Structure 1
Amino acid sequence: MKALAPIMLALVLALPAQAQERPRDWQPPPPETVPNHRELWRNVLIELATYAKTRKPGFVVLVRGGTELVVKGEREAAWEEIQDPEGKTFEKRLPLRSVFRPYVRVVDGMVVDGLYCGPDALGTPLDKAIKDRQELDAKLAEEKAQGIQRPPVPQQFGPFSIDPKEELRKAAEIKRAAERQERQRRLIYAVEALRQQGRSILSIEQCKTQKEADAAYKGAARDHVLSYAAVGDEDLSKLQRGHPQGENAMPVTAITAARNWMPLLRADRFGNKAAWLMAMERTNHDVMLIDVAHRGSDPLTKDEVNRLRFKKLGAPRLMLAVLPVGKAYDWRWYWKREWVAGNPPFLFALDNTDPGSFITEVDDPQWKELLGKYLAGIMDLGFDGVVLDDLDTYLWFEELMPLDR
């Protein structure tokens, strides 16, 4: 287990759980029986994307989140060590921070939340963040060769005060800062890997002020990121007022040609489907991301989707549909009244941070079948692409099933 120690040190910074409620009577399995959830998630996403692109070449497949699925991280390296402590498969293992090319090959880009606004914003040009990370990794590798072990994210250790309350407060503050840096590190690896392979990076920003939003758009233009910045209490169920950033009268038939985009993931603010459609038809965004049904239950028709595929200016644009993968929702069209957490089995646990949602066991055959039908339906309606959403749930499973017990 000595070889495992440096890897496990980097796993100290566990990311926060997405769902607070665990399955009843849950007991963590022995580390050697814990599955590689990242690989399970990748396999399902590859299967969905391959089906879409085989059926319709040019169909756009984007993923929202899932940064740890792009590049091999410490968790997967530790998992391999536990599965093969004698190192019999060592030569077949991918090196740490290798790109999972079969996954990257079938996606056209990634949607990132909070790249420029919010608590995890990088706060520096993307190229500089990548360069700084590469230089630090090179230094860490050099130190490791000399027998010096340091975690990839610096960690402070106390005591910080003789006052117990202040000690706890300061320790919690430092832990949050370290977790933030760890999330940024993983994001930087994923973004750089995707950009190197010619994939697009899109962002969704929740900015406090218009000034922050303007700065986000400026930073996105500098970094070649396609960004959408909401301001204040705007959310993804409300159409942005006024003209879109970088309004464009030209036809847009590829994600790389887009100058702006609009994610409208909920239709709750629109009283009926007709009002929802009319509002969207009056927009000039190059790319729109929407649900396939008004309020999750009144589905669009093929003719309605075709109407939406043109801007108000008249030029064609890309219409993308959202497909939640890592969660199921009790307000979507497929939900059955008798379903509860644990029945059917793919409803692994209730996510009480998001009312009406359930963490799914992504590789469950019944859930995979439903996802396949969902994707086929999206394509039948004439959408130009899909955003595979709610991918980060593998992090919750990893927290539920630690490797270091």
Structure 2
Amino acid sequence: MKKLLLPITAFLLLSCHNDMDDTGAENSNNTGETPGETVIDYRQEMRQLVMSISVKGKVSNGNFAVIPQNGIELLTNDGDPFGSLNIPYLNAIDGHGQEDLLYGYDSDDVATPSDETDYLMEFLDRSKEFGKAILVTDYCTTESKVTDSYTRNEDNGYISMAAPQRELNAIPDQAPHNENANDINHLSDAKNFLYLINPENFATKQDFITAVSATNYDVVLIDMFLGGESFTQQEITQLKTKANGGIRMVICYMSIGEAEDYRYYWQSGWTTGTPEWLEAENPSWAGNYTVQYWNDEWKNIIYNTPGSYLDKILNTGFNGVYLDIIEAFEYFEE
């Protein structure tokens, strides 16, 4: 039945794409800052990028999970937590990732201000009510705060990870919260996840694979590359089995709001303004540059040509993508 419905789903998403181009987001490469030029709807352009990735991913694999991280305001048409939901966007995704919900907003191992937590939860709860999985990453190490993070997130109906390092370079010492031997075939089946996208503490791919394979996390979020070398399809298949024999999902991290100077697509000579869609370097993360994500050249890198980043992810056998820097729209709105 899913195979029969898949082309229809893709058609509906693509139809939404066309409708939105006519009524809202403009597929233009200008910034909208010069008089006479079209003003770009930065939020809708980010939604459209996520939806386009979803269409291609789900046409290739009907169970391919698409999870945007942060930028939760895209959930509603007006960015208000009680505004009307953007249904095409919600239909395109399988969950939301949210950092710093309870700990880490101002500083690691420090409680997030309650008003910020409440604001984010107003959006997250609406997504959850729409059937989407909520993956929370809190940054805390004090034992009582770690316990509080897992307890409160579970009470809220979210799955979570208390990350010991902001760099996401370590497996927590404690066993996964709600550890189980279940087979995880859909994101909604998961009770926990591991967020491990920085492999700097692992000398080789095999060291990394051995360490992750020894865990029982339901979902593992990793980078596609280690030391500039891509994981193979066989290696990803190996990672899909938990230590207790259960099957898990392996999701690939992909930044779509920033270009990273250590990626395979980066070219010598690139700097702010060259190419024209490459914006300022992130002052908090050296080597990461905001991009005009609506630009066709960037779309071609990410998903819109054979051999694109998304194609590499699909061909390697990942169960989905975890999309970062969704909130890049804020940079252009300021």
Unaligned runs of 5+ in 2: 1-30, 108-112
Cα distance change on mapping 1:337 and 1:386 into 2, 3 Å: same
Give the Cα–Cα distance (whole angstroms) in 2 for the partners of residues 259 and 113 of structure 1.
Answer: 17
Deviation at 1:187, TM superposition (A): 2.3
Give the Cα–Cα distance (whole angstroms) in 2 for the partners of residues 112 and 27 of structure 1.
Answer: 30
Deviation at 1:188, TM superposition (A): 3.4
Cα deviation, 1:313-365, whole Å, max 9, x if unaligned, reads 12110000011100111112221222212112221222122111000110111
Q: Give the aligned partner of residue 371 of structure 1.
A: 302
State how 1:165-176 maps to structure 2 within 5 Å. none
Q: Give the aligned partner of residue 28 of structure 2.
A: none
TM-score by length of 2: 0.82
- In structure 1, the residue corresponding to 2:313 is in which secondary structure? helix
Are 2:278 and 1:347 equivalent residues in the alignment? Answer: yes
Partner of residue 255 from structure 2, selected from 305, 308, 324: 324
Alpha-carbon contact 1:118-1:206 (below 8 Å) kept: yes
> Runs of 4 or more off by more than 2 Å in structure 1?
26-34, 72-75, 118-121, 183-190
Give the Cα–Cα distance (whole angstroms) in 1 for the partners of residues 47 and 261 of structure 2.
Answer: 25
Deviation at 1:32, TM superposition (A): 8.5
Cα distance change on mapping 1:245 and 1:344 into 2, 3 Å: same
Give the Cα–Cα distance (whole angstroms) in 2 for the partners of residues 195 and 358 of structure 1.
Answer: 32
Are 2:320 and 1:334 equivalent residues in the alignment? Answer: no
Structural RMSD (CA): 2.6
State how 1:68-79 maps to structure 2 within 5 Å. 68-73=73-78
- Pick which of 341-350 and 375-384 moved more: 341-350
Partner of residue 84 from structure 2, selected from 91, 98, 105: 98
Alpha-carbon contact 2:32-2:40 (below 8 Å) kept: no
Code of the residue aligned with 1:118 in structure 2: it is: G
Partner of residue 55 from structure 1, selected from 14, 39, 60: 60
Cα deviation, 1:137-196, whole Å, max 9, x if unaligned, reads xxxxxxxxxxxxxxxxxxxxxxxxxxxxxxxxxxxxxxxx8xx84x55652342132122
Equivalent pairs counted in the alignment come to: 296
Partner of residue 182 from structure 2, selected from 231, 236, 250: 250
TM-score by length of 1: 0.68
Are 2:43 and 1:38 equivalent residues in the alignment? Answer: yes
Give the Cα–Cα distance (whole angstroms) in 2 for the partners of residues 184 and 248 of structure 1.
Answer: 29
Code of the residue aligned with 2:186 in structure 1: it is: A
Give the Cα–Cα distance (whole angstroms) in 2 for the partners of residues 242 and 234 of structure 1.
Answer: 17
Give the Cα–Cα distance (whole angstroms) in 2 for the partners of residues 184 and 215 of structure 1.
Answer: 14
Code of the residue aligned with 2:315 in structure 1: it is: D
Partner of residue 152 from structure 2, selected from 219, 222, 228: 219
Code of the residue aligned with 1:353 in structure 2: it is: S
Cα distance change on mapping 1:119 and 1:323 into 2, 3 Å: closer
Partner of residue 270 from structure 1, selected from 199, 202, 210: 202
Give the Cα–Cα distance (whole angstroms) in 1 for the partners of residues 94 and 318 of structure 2.
Answer: 15
Alpha-carbon contact 1:71-1:189 (below 8 Å) kept: no
Cα deviation, 1:278-319, whole Å, max 9, x if unaligned, reads 211211111000000104x11011111111010111211000
- In structure 2, the residue corresponding to 1:98 is in which secondary structure? coil
Give the Cα–Cα distance (whole angstroms) in 1 for the partners of residues 106 and 289 of structure 2.
Answer: 25
- In structure 2, the residue corresponding to 1:331 is in which secondary structure? coil
- In structure 1, the residue corresponding to 2:326 is in which secondary structure? coil
Deviation at 1:74, TM superposition (A): 6.1
Partner of residue 385 from structure 1, selected from 311, 320, 323: 320
Cα distance change on mapping 1:272 and 1:259 into 2, 3 Å: same
Partner of residue 244 from structure 2, selected from 298, 305, 313: 313
Unaligned runs of 5+ in 1: 1-25, 76-95, 122-176, 400-405
Give the Cα–Cα distance (whole angstroms) in 2 for the partners of residues 367 and 57 of structure 1.
Answer: 25
- In structure 1, the residue corresponding to 2:46 is in which secondary structure? helix
Sequence identity (%) = 27
Code of the residue aligned with 1:363 in structure 2: it is: W
State how 1:204-215 maps to structure 2 within 5 Å. 204-215=137-148
Give the Cα–Cα distance (whole angstroms) in 1 for the partners of residues 175 and 313 of structure 2.
Answer: 28
Partner of residue 289 from structure 2, selected from 353, 358, 366: 358
Q: Give the aligned partner of residue 230 of structure 2.
A: 299
Alpha-carbon contact 1:253-1:317 (below 8 Å) kept: yes
Alpha-carbon contact 1:67-1:186 (below 8 Å) kept: no
- In structure 1, the residue corresponding to 2:161 is in which secondary structure? strand
Give the Cα–Cα distance (whole angstroms) in 2 for the partners of residues 226 and 31 of structure 1.
Answer: 47
Cα distance change on mapping 1:56 and 1:218 into 2, 3 Å: same
Q: Give the aligned partner of residue 130 of structure 2.
A: 197
Give the Cα–Cα distance (whole angstroms) in 2 for the partners of residues 335 and 185 of structure 1.
Answer: 39
Code of the residue aligned with 2:195 in structure 1: it is: P
